[in-house]
Amino acid sequence: MGLDWKLKEKLAARLAREQGHIVYPAGGRARFALAYPNSYFVGMSNLGLHIIYDILNHRTDTACERFFLPDGRELDEYRRTKTPLLSMETQSPLSDFDVVGFAVSFEMDYFHLLDMLEVGRVPLLAMERDERSPLVIAGGPCATFNPEPLSSFVDAFIIGEGEETVGRFMDVYQAAKQDGATREETLRRLSCVPGVYVPSLYEHIYRGSGELETIRPVGDAPAHVERQWVKNLDDYPAHTVVVTDETEFDLYLVETARGCGRHCRFCMAGYCFRRPRNRSLAVLKDAINGAKVYGKRIGLMGAAISDYPKIDELSEHILSEGLAMSVASFRADSVTETMIRSLAESGMKTITLAPEAGSAKMRAVVNKGIDEEHLFHAMELGVAAGIRHYRLYIMIGLPYETEADVDAVAELAGRLKDYLEAHESRGTLTLSVNPFIPKPFTPFQWAVMAEKKYIEAALKRLKKALSARKGVGLIAEPTKSAYIQGVLARGDRRVSCALYRAHMAGGAKAFHRAMKEEGLREEFYLSREYGEKEIFPWDVLDMGVKKEYLYEEWKRAECLETTIPCFDGCRRCGVCG
């Protein structure tokens, strides 16, 4: 085993610049590698990583250390010098750990997960690991809504919110280890922990046409795995634990709420993390007071910050403590003057709004619940507070979209820019436009993903319509990666074979060819009609939302029917009984 001392010293130097990390002496504790399959910069901007790190290191029997994907040249140096992937805290090899836990937030990070296992000297395929190999697990949004494309590489998945499950997982793991249980027996025991899915204990049987015929549990594995969710968020304060300047916006993150009850039909988070829950103002004030010593801006996190019922009091408290604030997102129909003023006083230069579509028809299709008047009102508040720049999140290729709906995006942008010019001539409007990707456990899981040529034509049409307008810009992600994401989002476990083949051939750029070589058609996952009773690869998981309810919402979208948000006493979707 090689070892490049410069790589080790770089990790040690980065660790020395942090505040809040924990290093335990060797021995006496199970070693847990918390791995984020992207850069340190991206991983340390992920609040979930901080939460799990804190929970595990407050156990008396576990030592948790962090691993990140080395940057491009650095990854090449690991491979050139045959240095195994090393941890932040003690610069120990990944393969030395008992459990390797990946936090997976984005489909394109699946390729990075395999890179980290390979450089970490952990066998890529779960079936090739022996009693000396670490147990590889995964959690996070992607692991929750469809673990199957990673099923060849991950021994067990944490389904849902990990705060409570990870503790139970480690209890059972430690007991199995003390009993001298084999790897196979340990996984069997772990499959009995609520919220733990062990893919090797389920057999997927396919029809000749390629569709799933059935998912069959092996032995005494549960028929369904119920996602876990935290009933009282105050039991688990969620804020930055390890403080570093090397994050996306250099923020101290504080989560205000979790879940969303707005019923946007495209939104996986709205269904997988239902029901909506808020932290108490007292708990949030404690978290903010703990942040004062660092002097960083407070980054409020949540599905829709403006929906937090005491957002005005919270905003005023942050400023009264001499701190500044930022928000991840807010809804135009619930934003307040106090919140906007607080953001402006905090130095915020750009407000981001998410109408998702340009026409009222398409906003009805997705059940966004935002009218054009809400957008103008939010802009009015922003302009009055001195904020000049605005960004719109837009999706194209949505179900039932026409060219007229694409044109409506440019027309909406024009009207908003007219307003901006009438009140602040130097302001800019930027459209962030991305292809719609159907996600599991949403009403749109039955939807077809628009063809690439349609998306490219729509983008070209938008760019042309906006090109003559000064101060209006458009940014879009490469369409190729969107279609890879689409396959990975809705893929079955056969797609894991293509992932493995792509990894061996160079990663994401080889995925299209790998799919063909595995005899798989991307169109099968993206553009065929899914039947009402179709068995989806993720149907073994139970999010609490009835599948029948999701299908009803899919049909309501076609009829442009509105669904009202969650309310006390509601029993529509199944989550609340």
pLDDT, tens only, 86-136: 999 999 999 999 999 999 999 999 999 999 999 999 999 999 999 999 999
Query: Per-residue pLDDT averaged across 149-157, rounded?
Result: 98
Query: Is the pLDDT reported for residue 2 higher than 80?
Result: no
Q: What is the C-alpha separation between 140 and 158, in angstroms, rounded?
A: 8
pLDDT, tens only, 325-344: 999 778 999 999 999 999 99
In the numeric block, the tokens 């999706």 are attached to: 395
Q: What is the C-alpha separation between 141 and 439, in angstroms, rounded?
A: 11
Query: Per-residue pLDDT averaged across 222-226, rounded?
Result: 97
- Average pLDDT taken over every residue of the chain: 96
pLDDT, tens only, 339-365: 999 999 999 999 999 999 999 999 999
pLDDT, tens only, 28-87: 899 999 999 999 999 999 999 999 999 999 999 999 999 999 998 999 999 999 999 999
- CA distances 146 to 165, 206, 226, 526, 572, Å, are 18, 17, 13, 15, 24
Query: Per-residue pLDDT averaged across 2-9, rounded?
Result: 85
**pLDDT band (50, 70, 90) for residue 198:** very high
Q: What percent of the chain has pLDDT over 90?
A: 95
Q: What is the C-alpha separation between 242 and 174, in angstroms, rounded?
A: 26
Query: Per-residue pLDDT averaged across 207-235, rounded?
Result: 96
Query: Per-residue pLDDT averaged across 494-506, rounded?
Result: 98
| pLDDT at position 100 | 98
Q: What is the C-alpha separation between 257 and 303, in angstroms, rounded?
A: 7
| pLDDT at position 343 | 97
User: Can you read off the two tokens belonging to residue 354?
Assistant: 């998410």
- CA distances 8 to 3, 72, 392, Å, are 8, 16, 42
Query: Is the pLDDT reported for residue 147 higher than 60?
Result: yes
Q: What is the C-alpha separation between 503 and 498, in angstroms, rounded?
A: 8
CA atoms within 13 A on the CB side of 125: 10
**pLDDT band (50, 70, 90) for residue 397:** very high
| pLDDT at position 1 | 57
Cα 60 versus chain centre, distance: 30
Domains for the chain: give ranges and CATH numbers. 5-226 (3.40.50.280), 229-348 (3.30.750.210), 350-477+545-577 (3.30.750.200)
- CA distances 123 to 98, 137, 157, Å, are 14, 13, 17
| pLDDT at position 304 | 87
Using an 8 Å Cβ cutoff, are 530 and 446 in contact? yes
Closest to 267 (Cα-Cα) out of 438, 110, 483: 438
Claim: this prediction has a pTM higher than 0.95: yes
Query: Is the pLDDT reported for residue 434 higher than 80?
Result: yes
Query: Per-residue pLDDT averaged across 465-493, rounded?
Result: 95
| pLDDT at position 72 | 86
Query: Per-residue pLDDT averaged across 480-498, rounded?
Result: 97
User: Can you read off the two tokens belonging to residue 29?
Assistant: 């504790």
Query: Per-residue pLDDT averaged across 240-268, rounded?
Result: 95
The CA-CA-CA angle for residues 228, 232, 235, to 5°, reads: 100
Using an 8 Å Cβ cutoff, are 354 and 395 in contact? no
Query: Per-residue pLDDT averaged across 238-249, rounded?
Result: 95
Closest to 44 (Cα-Cα) out of 242, 295, 238: 242
- CA distances 17 to 4, 242, 562, Å, are 21, 10, 51
Query: Is the pLDDT reported for residue 469 higher than 80?
Result: yes
